[in-house]
Amino acid sequence: MKQEHSFRQFVLALAVGTALSATTASAAITDQDIADDAKTTADVVSYGLGLQGQRFSPLDKLNTDTVKNLTPAYVLSYGDEKQRGQEAQPLVANGKIFTTASYSRVFAVDAKTGEELWQYDHRLPEGIMPCCDVVNRGGALYDNLFIFATLDAQLVALDQETGKVVWKEKMEDFKAGYSNTAAPIVVKGKVITGVSGGEFGIVGKVEARDAKTGKLVWSRPTVEGHMGTLDGKDNGITGETNKSWPGDLWKTGGAATWLGGTYDAETDSLFFGTGNPSPWNSHLRPGDNLYSSSVLAINPDDGKIKWHYQWTPHDGWDFDGVNEFIPFDLKKEDGTVIKAGGHADRNGFFYVLDRTNGKLINATPFVNQITWAKGIDLKTGRPEYIDDNRPGKPGEGADKGTSVFSAPSFLGGKNWMPMAYNPNTELFYVPANEWGMDIWNEPISYKKGAAYLGAGFTIKPLNEDYIGALRAVDPKTGKIVWEAKNKAPLWGGVLTTAGNLVFTGTPEGYLKAFDAKTGAELWKFQTGSGVVGIPVTWEQDGEQFVAVPSGWGGAVPLWGGEVAKSVKHLNQGGSLWVFKLPKTS
C-alpha cells in the first residue's frame, strides 16, 4: 500500500520536478498505516512490525541465498557518555529512521544517508529508579508524532520533522518507583502504555490516551481491588478486592505492565502481560495474587478486562509474566484454524492459548530444566507445583528462609527480548537462556520509593559452554525444531522474514542471520558492542535494508551473578547499524 503510494509520487516527481518531495516527507501516519504495517514493506511504523507483534516481514529479496551479500550501509554513533544498554526497535517512515536510546534519548536519521536529522535528550531528574538499566525499547508513530516514554515516567510526543516536544504527559510519580522503558502502541487513535516499577511496590496499570493530545481516556489497574477510570469517571474495580490477596498487600501489589503489549484487530483485544506480585517473598501474600504474572485481554475502547490467564499463580520466583503474547493462526491437522496466541514465559514454559477466550491449548517446556513445576495441567490451566522448590518462609526472628535452587532463574527462560513468528514456517523463534538461581526469602516491609523484594538470589549458568539458545518452537506440538547456542545469554529481539531468515543479535557483538527452517548460521557481522536491540527490515529504492541498535547493557550485567564470567569483558557502546543488500548482487 505504502510502497505503491510512494512509487506513484516518485513518477509524479519526475514529471514536475522535486517540488513533491516535501509532501512525501511530511505524510502523516494513520491508523490504516499502523493496521497494515505487517503487510507493507516500505516502512516500519509500529513496535512488533505490526500490532500483533509477529516481527515477520514479507520481504524476500534478502533470503538464504542472498544474505551472504548483506553489507553495512552506514552507522550512527549515539555519542555522549551515556553508553548503556540499547534495547530499542527502530521505526522507519517517510525516509527517516527513528530510534530511542539509553537515558531516554531519541534519534532521527536520514534513511538514505545515515545522517542525524535531530536528537532529543530528555532531561532526567536525579532520583529515577529503573530496576534494570537505563534502557528504552522504542517509540510509536502517529500523525506527525513520535511518542515515547521516559525513565521518569513521562510520555513525550515529538514532531517527526523537528524533534520538538508537541505534548508531554506525566504518567506517574517517579519518586514512588515508577518508570517506563517500553514502546507504546497506537490503536484506533489512542496511545496505549503500561508502567514499570514492580520492584518498588507500585501498582501496574494499562492506560489509553488520545494520541494527538496526550489526554487520558482510560486507565486499568492490573491488581485486583483498584478502581479503573474512563473519561475521568470510575469504571469498575479490577477483579474483586481481597479475593486473591490478603490484607492490604494489594495496595502495593506490583503486577507492572513494564513491557507494553500487542493488539489483535480480529478479536479487537489488547494483550498486556503483567509482572511479578510485590514483594518477591510469596509467603507474605498467600493466594493467586491476581492479576500478577498474567496476560490480560483488554477492550481498547473502554479498558475493561475481557479475560485473563495467569502463567504463574502465587509467583514466588519473580517469574513475572510480561513477555509478549503474539496472536497467530494455529492450523490443526484436521485443517481447522484456531485464533491462538503464543507466549514464552520466564517460568520456562511455552504457552498456546485460544485468544478469543484465554483457554489454555498447550504448554510445553522450551528450556532444558524446570524445577518449580512438573508441568501445566491442560484441564485446569494451572501449574503442577513442586512445593519443595518454593523458597522457604523466614522463621520467627530469622533473617532468611530456606534457600532453594530454582531453574529457570528469575531472569527467565526468556526475558523481555521479543520472539518472532513466521507464518510460512509456522514456527516461533525464541531467544532462550539456560540458567538457574539460588533464591531465599527475607522479611520486608513496604517503604515508598525503596526496593520491595524480600528476597536474595544469585544466578548460575546450567552449562559450561553456553547460556543462550535461539530456539525454533513448533506451536502445534511444543517441539523444539532447532536451536543455535550462544556462550553469553541472549538479550536481543528476533526478526523473521519471508526470505526464510531469522535475525537476532548476541552480547558478543554480532548481528546474525539463520536459516529459518534448519537453524544454520548463514551470516554474521560484528557491530563493536553487544547487540541487545531489536532488528527491523524494510525496502527502500528497490533494496532491502536491515537496522539494529548496538550497545551492551540491560539487566544481565547488573544482576548476572556467576554469569558475569561470560559477559564481564564485553564493552559498552551506542550506535545504530544499518545494512543493505546492494542491487547489483
Partner 1 sequence: MFRHGRWLLLCLLCQSAGAAEPDPLNSPQWGAMHSRFLKSEPYVFDDNVKVDAPADAEDSLNVPVAFDASALSGIQEIVVVSDLNPLPHVLNFRPKTVPASLAFRMKLQQGSPIRVAAKTADGVWHVGSTYVNAAGGGCTLPSVGTSSGDWSKTLGQVSANVWERAENNRLRIRVMHPMDTGLASGIPDFYIENLNVKDAQGNLLAELDLYEPISENPMLSLDVGKVTTFKLEGRDNNGNKIAAEVAR
Q: Which residues contact 479 (CB under 8 A, 6 or more apart)?
A: 364, 473
Q: Which stretch binds partner 1 (CB under 8 A): 15-23, 77-85, 451-459, 494-502?
A: 77-85
As a whole number of angstroms, the distance between CA 432 and CA 323 comes to 12
DSSP codes, 439-493? EEE------TTS----EEEEEEESSSS-SEEEEEE-TTT--EEEEEEESSPP-S-
Q: Which is nearer to partner 1, 80 or 377 (CB)?
A: 80
Residue pair 272/252 in contact (Cβ under 8 Å)? The answer is no
**Cβ at position 162, least distance to partner 1 in Å:** 11
Q: Which is nearer to partner 1, 55 or 122 (CB)?
A: 122
Q: Which residues contact 140 (CB under 8 A, 6 or more apart)?
A: 46, 47, 91, 146, 147, 148, 183, 184, 185, 186, 191, 211
Contact with partner 1 (CB under 8 A) among 11, 19, 126, 396 = 126
Site size toward partner 1 (CB under 8 A) is 16
Contact with partner 1 (CB under 8 A) among 127, 247, 335, 397 = 127
**Cβ at position 193, least distance to partner 1 in Å:** 16
What 8-state DSSP symbol labels residue 99? E
**Cβ at position 156, least distance to partner 1 in Å:** 6
234 flagged as catalytic: no
Q: Which is nearer to partner 1, 49 or 158 (CB)?
A: 158
**Cβ at position 533, least distance to partner 1 in Å:** 22
Q: For residue 408, say if its preceding peptide bond is cis, omega within 30 degrees of 0.
A: yes
Task: For residue 293, give the nearest of 309, 269, 306, 270 by alpha carbon.
Answer: 309
As a whole number of angstroms, the distance between CA 546 and CA 75 comes to 12
Could you say which residues in the range 237-276 bind partner 1, by CB under 8 A?
Answer: none
Widest CA span in the chain: 84
Task: For residue 270, give the nearest of 297, 230, 307 by alpha carbon.
Answer: 297
Q: Which is nearer to partner 1, 167 or 446 (CB)?
A: 167
203-to-343, 351, 441, 517 alpha-carbon distances in Å: 23, 26, 22, 42
**Cβ at position 161, least distance to partner 1 in Å:** 16
516 is a contact residue toward partner 1 (CB under 8 A):
no
As a whole number of angstroms, the distance between CA 214 and CA 145 comes to 11
298-to-225, 264, 431, 549 alpha-carbon distances in Å: 17, 10, 27, 31
Other CB atoms within 10 A of residue 66 CB: 17
Could you say which residues in the range 131-190 bind partner 1, by CB under 8 A?
Answer: 154, 156, 164-168
Task: For residue 44, give the nearest of 96, 4, 81, 6 by alpha carbon.
Answer: 96
As a whole number of angstroms, the distance between CA 37 and CA 477 comes to 29
Place of cell 516481527: 55
Q: Which is nearer to partner 1, 207 or 320 (CB)?
A: 207
Q: Which is nearer to partner 1, 82 or 331 (CB)?
A: 82
**Cβ at position 81, least distance to partner 1 in Å:** 5
Contact with partner 1 (CB under 8 A) among 82, 382, 485, 487 = 82
Could you say which residues in the range 85-124 bind partner 1, by CB under 8 A?
Answer: 121-123
Beta partners for residue 375, in sequence order: 384
Catalytic residue among 152, 318, 345, 515: 318
**Cβ at position 572, least distance to partner 1 in Å:** 15
- The grid coordinates listed for 433 are 537462556
Q: How many CA atoms lie within 13 A of 513 on its CB side?
A: 25
Q: Which stretch binds partner 1 (CB under 8 A): 34-42, 74-82, 343-351, 496-504?
A: 74-82
84 is a contact residue toward partner 1 (CB under 8 A):
no
**Cβ at position 101, least distance to partner 1 in Å:** 12
Cα pseudo-dihedral 236, 240, 241, 245, rounded to 10: -140
**Cβ at position 171, least distance to partner 1 in Å:** 13
The identity of residue 300, as a single letter, is P
73 is a contact residue toward partner 1 (CB under 8 A):
no
Q: Which is nearer to partner 1, 127 or 247 (CB)?
A: 127
- The grid coordinates listed for 176 are 514512588
Q: Which is nearer to partner 1, 154 or 433 (CB)?
A: 154
Beta partners for residue 234, in sequence order: 229
125 is a contact residue toward partner 1 (CB under 8 A):
yes
Residue pair 272/196 in contact (Cβ under 8 Å)? The answer is no
Residue pair 560/546 in contact (Cβ under 8 Å)? The answer is no
Q: Which is nearer to partner 1, 129 or 470 (CB)?
A: 129
333 is a contact residue toward partner 1 (CB under 8 A):
no
The identity of residue 491, as a single letter, is W
Instruction: Tell me the per-residue interface mask from 455 to 494 with partner 1, x by CB under 8 A, - otherwise.
Output: ----------------------------------------
Q: Which is nearer to partner 1, 174 or 317 (CB)?
A: 174
**Cβ at position 19, least distance to partner 1 in Å:** 15
Instruction: Tell me the per-residue interface mask from 341 to 380 with partner 1, x by CB under 8 A, - otherwise.
Output: ----------------------------------------
- The grid coordinates listed for 292 are 500478577
Q: What value, to the nearest 5°, has the Cα angle with vertex 128 and ends 127 and 129?
A: 115
Q: Which stretch binds partner 1 (CB under 8 A): 46-54, 75-83, 288-296, 327-335?
A: 75-83
Catalytic residues, by residue number, are 318
- Applying CB under 8 A, the residues found at the interface with partner 1 are 80-82, 121-123, 125-127, 154, 156, 164-168
